[in-house]
Structure 1
């Protein structure tokens, strides 16, 4: 079989025929009919390529750190006189030269709340000066007030910022909570194709959510409802394996876990995971009884063989003596 033309690679030295994959893909898309999780396929130079969204569940036990950098620009802290909580525009601070120096203005004294006119206006009226003789400067906010409030982001700027930063269950970068652990079992997704291996999928996932941790410290696991847990190897192709496992998340899920904390659980072991402790203890007692019975059988057998061998040796000794 020509692996490049008639089959699709799912791992190191592991291939599956195109017809088998297309059959599973049809079932997969029927399950997600009308949803964004449907997968597309095409052929390029005889190679079948499947692409679309892969659901990944968070299974981390340790916190991760979100990157502060977006669009190759690092958000710089404001001057010491300005607090992060003062509502200043971070976009304006990250772009040099975008803020112009405000024009010097004359700051008027506070208004007289009783008549709505300033103290200067009252003094001018009392001295008999008309408005034509005294040009009036419009009241403005002080420079300190302008800098304290800052410019509001336009809707287009807000969309531009969020276009390059996806939230993890609604959690965007925040200086106070940039280090956190996603809720266990919550779902996310990443757009990949069937040619991508496990390390490549991890890099795309970490790039999407701007995670600062190294993808090499994490791994993907197939977790079944039975408790069976299989780690995807570096040479595996997660999207193809997901299609072969079937679309139902209640039967099998792809989990992101730490490389040193995740562990594989075989099917034989997984059969006993969901039993209660008293049931497991009863299993142990029965296994112990069965073990004792087998030990007794072996002892009787070896004792019988031992007797036979001794009789044969005794008969041979007596025969040699008579001669």
Structure 2
């Protein structure tokens, strides 16, 4: 009975509940419409729609904000770039090569580390010093203490003075006192000689002369905290070794090159180098000055076994297109057979064109003869 009563009560009140909910829903819709009307007073009051010029300007602005430049007169949609970026970060999940993105004034900016592989064939020159560490010139003979701080950093031990010991020849019958003095002198002499030898080794190993210290100071320079000698400042990086730079998607190819050269304090001008996108197929495409290397890396995919960004000399590398790259890995006999097939196809096309234009020439000559007969009869 109580359950049946409760069910009847619910059934009796059910239409009332439905009515209340519908009323609240209608009130919510009306309030929403009123809010939208308040938000657009011009449309509600019938003041007219936006003009055609304003609409075109709005559409153009929305298109500009939804496109991301990836080169000269080349654009990619923001959604497509974000899709590539998502796949890129999934590939490098948990690694420091993941990229971050943000928006500044409706412009999408991607930033992070870009791996660049060394592909140089000629040696490069390194700077003699860091930008933050200035090495003073060697002091002149007239100003011995000017400029060099090595002498003030640590005390220089004066070379040990060895006493001059003279041993006189013994007489035939020396006295006991003279024998003791000679014996003492002979016993002390080898010890003093060993002391002199020890001092010499210790001074050469741990303590350099002021001249040597000044020469080392002049020849030593630092690159990212590592000290080198200027005699070894010209070297060639190992081909295929990798480095990285932190860049963003708004940096062009010259800016990335300059950043890389400054990182390693390379003295060669940036105009000698260029960045290339190298594929495993053999294709080599030079990144133009108007390209953005980070966006190019994202669009080519994250896998470096498929494509890599190389730093190479401009005059040592020739671009290889995709059409040429697909034949690079074939052996010479296979390539020769390809050439023969292409030659046969070329000959067939030439014969076809010659037959076509021969027939056209015959038709034109026949028409000209007909016109000449007509003029003769007239």
> TM-score under structure 2 normalisation?
0.62
Which residue of structure 1 lines up, in the alignment, with residue 114 of structure 2? 54
Residue 42, structure 1, aligned to residue 99, structure 2? no
Residue 258, structure 1, aligned to residue 313, structure 2? yes
Aligned-partner Cα distance in 1 for 2:309–2:91: 17
Q: Using the TM superposition, give the Cα deviation of residue 175 of structure 1 relative to its aligned residue in structure 2, in angstroms.
A: 4.1
Matched residue SS, 2:79: helix
Check the 8 A contact 1:67/1:173 in 2, yes or no.
no
Aligned-partner Cα distance in 1 for 2:229–2:63: 48
CA RMSD of aligned residues (A): 3.6
CA distance 1:150–1:212, change in 2 (3 Å): farther
CA distance 1:146–1:269, change in 2 (3 Å): same
Check the 8 A contact 1:74/1:94 in 2, yes or no.
no
Matched positions, count? 275
Q: Using the TM superposition, give the Cα deviation of residue 77 of structure 1 relative to its aligned residue in structure 2, in angstroms.
A: 8.4
CA distance 1:299–1:209, change in 2 (3 Å): same
Residue 68, structure 1, aligned to residue 125, structure 2? no
Which residue of structure 2 lines up, in the alignment, with residue 294 of structure 1? 349
Structure ID, larger Rg: 2
Q: Using the TM superposition, give the Cα deviation of residue 278 of structure 1 relative to its aligned residue in structure 2, in angstroms.
A: 1.4
CA distance 1:43–1:305, change in 2 (3 Å): closer
CA deviations on 1:163-209 (whole Å, 9 max, x unpaired) are: 8247xxxxx74444322222222222112222221111111111111
Aligned-partner Cα distance in 1 for 2:199–2:302: 62
Q: 1:98 aligns with which of 153, 165, 183?
A: 153
Q: Using the TM superposition, give the Cα deviation of residue 314 of structure 1 relative to its aligned residue in structure 2, in angstroms.
A: 3.1
Q: Using the TM superposition, give the Cα deviation of residue 103 of structure 1 relative to its aligned residue in structure 2, in angstroms.
A: 5.5
CA deviations on 1:79-135 (whole Å, 9 max, x unpaired) are: 9xxxxxxxxxxxxx77573233435755579xxxxxxxxxxxx969959xxxxxxxx
Which residue of structure 2 lines up, in the alignment, with residue 195 of structure 1? 250
Q: Using the TM superposition, give the Cα deviation of residue 270 of structure 1 relative to its aligned residue in structure 2, in angstroms.
A: 1.8
Bigger mean CA offset, 96-105 vs 23-32: 96-105
Task: List gaps (5 residues or longer) in structure 2.
Answer: 1-60, 141-147, 165-179, 186-194, 209-220
Which residue of structure 2 lines up, in the alignment, with residue 116 of structure 1? none
CA distance 1:191–1:95, change in 2 (3 Å): farther
Check the 8 A contact 1:73/1:94 in 2, yes or no.
no
Show the 5 A alignment for 1:1-323.
1-2=61-62, 5-70=65-130, 71-74=132-135, 97-102=152-157, 106-107=161-162, 126=184, 142=199, 145-146=202-203, 148-150=205-207, 164-165=224-225, 173-323=228-378
Aligned-partner Cα distance in 1 for 2:64–2:372: 74
Check the 8 A contact 1:57/1:256 in 2, yes or no.
yes
Bigger mean CA offset, 100-109 vs 307-316: 100-109
Which residue of structure 1 lines up, in the alignment, with residue 6 of structure 2? none
Task: List gaps (5 residues or longer) in structure 1.
Answer: 80-92, 110-121, 128-138, 152-160, 167-171
Q: Using the TM superposition, give the Cα deviation of residue 306 of structure 1 relative to its aligned residue in structure 2, in angstroms.
A: 2.5
